Structures are given as structure tokens and as C-alpha cells.
Amino acid sequence: MGLGDRANQLLETGKSTFNRAKEEVSDFMMNTNVNSSTTQGNTRSRSGGGGRFQSYRYPNKMLTGSTDYLKIKIVKYLPVKQGKTSGGGSAGGEGKISSGGGQTLTGTLAKGFTMPTISERVKKQKSLAEVILPIPQAISDNNSTNWGDDELNPLQAAGTQLAGKLMTDPGGALEDLKGIQGFGGIDENTKKAVMSSLAGMAVGKDPNAAMSRATGQILNPNMEVIFDGVNIRAFDFTFVFGPRNESEANQIKQIIRLFKKHSAAKGSSGNGLFIASPDIFILEYMKGGAAHPYLNVFKPMVMTSVNVTYTGNGTYSTYHDGTPTLMQMAVNFKELNPIYAEHYDSGEGTRGTGF
């Protein structure tokens, strides 16, 4: 093959690659296109059928394969179907465990433990609306667990051991109690300390205070920091809106209305007898047409508050049609379920920095 033929082959390969990339970006843009004359936002067909949903975007600039943005999907809250649990449950809601068999206490508890979480249920829901917004300037994630100080002095440890044996071997525990012969060979100072502690407990006084008064010492608390539970994450975002034309002004207005509406409770449930839950928000950092390869992942969330400032620059200023020139929308979200270590090993938890 001559040099000229080789150059032509490389040129054709480059053109083919460019055209494929162009088609991919074009397809992505068609899925997020905003009509410049819309006043109520776009109504898009849902892939696979099943109706249509509203789609909004700010700003109205072109999205490319390298554009970073935040996609927010809104779905309906889905309560659990009591007594209708599917097989293959999850630990902490999301890791399979054995449910055990038979009508036993542990088997009954396991069935409740394998109940699908709200996060699992709402992910299967169809979108009511979708919004594309720029990633705010200040973003972070904060993962934490609860730990607390705990004490277990020798008397409490002995009582705990005795209570455990009473539940597993009542007869043996009673025999052990019968076999106790006084204080044994302990010194007089220790005997006095224990007696004063027991006397304090008998009259409802702090045993350590009673012991300290009597002997000037307290029981060794054996203090230790122990695990005390999990926390559910919360996220705060502030979006700045500065409409540059009528289309963007309308998009911003509809986005604000959308967030206010879907974060509000529904008062028409049960002929006024009940109040139904607000809708659920599913957030995802995006890069082009795919999930962001680095930033954190979210679980489905509720919007706990939305606060709109119409004087973003500190002064009331509007365009000729009354649209404020600069606005800020602060929203607060809270995830529906806590994060567990197993969530980082599969599914969306393997992306980027995980949850």
C-alpha cells in the first residue's frame, strides 16, 4: 500500500469516527432538547410506552458529550404492600439474607427484615417529570455513623451474665445462685464497697454515689465506645437562575413550580380523610449522556424544603414582563434509606466515589 493510499484510508477512518460521535451527540441532544417558544416545558414520550412526562432544562445551551450537569427525576411515592413481600430480601434493606423457615420468632423477624426498602420500590416507578440543571458551585457528601460511650461495671456484668443464663438455662442459673457462699475471700474494703453499692441500688440512689460516699471510690466503669446506629444523609443545593431570554424565563418558572408542587403533600387523598405523601426525587450527576464517572451517587430522596429568593442580587429588579433578573433556589433533600458497606460492592455503588 502506497503512502497516498494509506493517507486516504486514515482520512476515511477519521471521518467515520467523527460521524458516529456526531450522531451520538445529536441523539443525546434530541432527548434533552428545549423548544425556545415553550411556556409550559416539554412533554416527552416515555421510552417503551406508558404515557408522557414533563421535561425541563436550564440553561438553554447545547449539551455535549463532556457537559457535566445534575439530572433530577420525580416519581410517585410507593408505599409497601403489607403482607405481600417478594422473595430475595435485603440486609439493611439491600443485601440478601436467609429468611429461615417455620413459625419461629427468628423466622418471623427475618421475613420482616427482607422487606423491600422504599429506595428499591420507587426506582421502578415511571417518571412524572425530569429536570436538567447545572451542577451547583458547592457540592459535597457527608457519610457518618453514630457511636457513643457505654459503661459496664462488674456488678452490671455479673447481672447481665446471670440474666442470660436465666433465659437459656433457668434451672442451672438457680443452682448457681444457691451455690453462692457469701463474699468469699475478698478483702474488707472491697466487701464494704460492694455492700454500699447494693444498698444504694436498693433505696433508688446512684450506686456509684453511695459507694463514693462510703469508701471514696467507685466501680470500674469499663468505659468503651460502641456502635449506636446509622444516619441518613441530607443534601443542600443552591441554584442560581439568571434568565437570558423569554424561553429561559419560562423554563425557570416551570422548574420552580414543579419543585414546589411535587414536594408538597397531597390533600385530596381519601376524600379529605387522609393526607398523601409528596413525591420522590431521584438525583444523578451526569457527564454527557452517561452517569458521572467520579462524583458520588445518591439514593432516592425526599425534598424537605424549597426556598426561592427572587432578589438574587439583593435588589428588586425585573425585566419588562415582570421576570426577576436574578433568582436563587435553595433546596434540601434527605435520602430515604441509610448507606451500608455492602452497597459499595454492586450496582450503582461501584461508580465513582460510591455513595
pLDDT at 89: 46
Residue 48 has pLDDT above 70, yes or no: no
Q: Which residue has the higher pLDDT, 13 or 137?
A: 137
* Average pLDDT over all residues of the chain: 77
Answer for the pair 338, 232: CB distance below 8 angstroms, yes or no.
yes
Count the alpha carbons within 13 Å of 331 in the hemisphere toward its beta carbon: 23
| Among 236, 239, 265, residue whose Cα is nearest residue 252 | 239
How many Å apart are CA 45 and CA 39, to the nearest integer?
A: 18
Most confident of 22-36, 82-96, 141-155, 313-327: 313-327
How many Å apart are CA 102 and CA 125, to the nearest integer?
A: 34
Please tell me whether the overall predicted TM-score, pTM, comes out greater than 0.85 for this model: no
Residue-wise pLDDT tens digits, 16-37:
544 544 444 344 444 444 443 3
**Mean pLDDT value of segment 242-263:** 96
Q: Which residue has the higher pLDDT, 128 or 80?
A: 128
**Among 7-11, 127-131, 185-189, 294-298, where is mean pLDDT lowest?**
7-11
pLDDT at 99: 44
Residue 172 has pLDDT above 60, yes or no: yes
pLDDT at 33: 43
Percentage of the residues of the chain whose pLDDT score is greater than 90: 44
How many Å apart are CA 199 and CA 158, to the nearest integer?
A: 17
**Among 106-110, 198-202, 330-334, where is mean pLDDT lowest?**
106-110
Q: Which residue has the higher pLDDT, 176 or 67?
A: 67
Residue 349 has pLDDT above 60, yes or no: yes
Distances from the Cα of 237 to the Cα of 215, 287, 326, 334, 335, angstroms: 58, 18, 17, 12, 14
The x, y and z cell numbers of residue 164, run together, are 442470660
| Among 343, 341, 339, 314, residue whose Cα is nearest residue 328 | 314
The x, y and z cell numbers of residue 16, run together, are 467515520
**Mean pLDDT value of segment 189-212:** 70
Residue-wise pLDDT tens digits, 296-345:
999 999 999 999 999 999 999 999 999 999 999 999 999 999 999 999 99
Count Cβ atoms within 10 A of the Cβ of residue 92 and give its class: 0-12 exposed, 13-18 middle, 19 or more buried. middle
